[in-house]
Amino acid sequence: MKLFLDFELCDECNSFIADLTREDSLLLDDIARNEISTKFMRHLTYNHPEVIQAIIKEVKIQKRKPEFDLYK
């Protein structure tokens, strides 16, 4: 599932995004990148309730949509 969220980024959000998109950061191993991603998600969870509300709303919408199973 992909979510496109529109919210005001704080300085810490911008810092995390810069860390994740730097050229040298892109070459890090998965464990190191996952650590940065985890910290960013934790930051979003605790400091941006509007993001959590948007995710909850989108998950509820996704649950209501009928799924078409190509493999049946």
Q: What pLDDT digit, counting tens, does each position of 28-72 carry?
A: 888 988 999 999 999 998 999 988 888 888 888 777 766 655 555
Tell me which residue has tokens 């992909």. 2
Structure pTM? 0.67
CA distance 16 to 18: 5
Q: Comparing C-alpha atoms, which of 1, 7, 17 is closest to residue 49?
A: 7
CA distance 17 to 43: 12
The Cα–Cα gap between 32 and 30 comes to 6
The reported pLDDT for the residue numbered 12 is 95
H or E stretch including 11?
Answer: helix 11-21
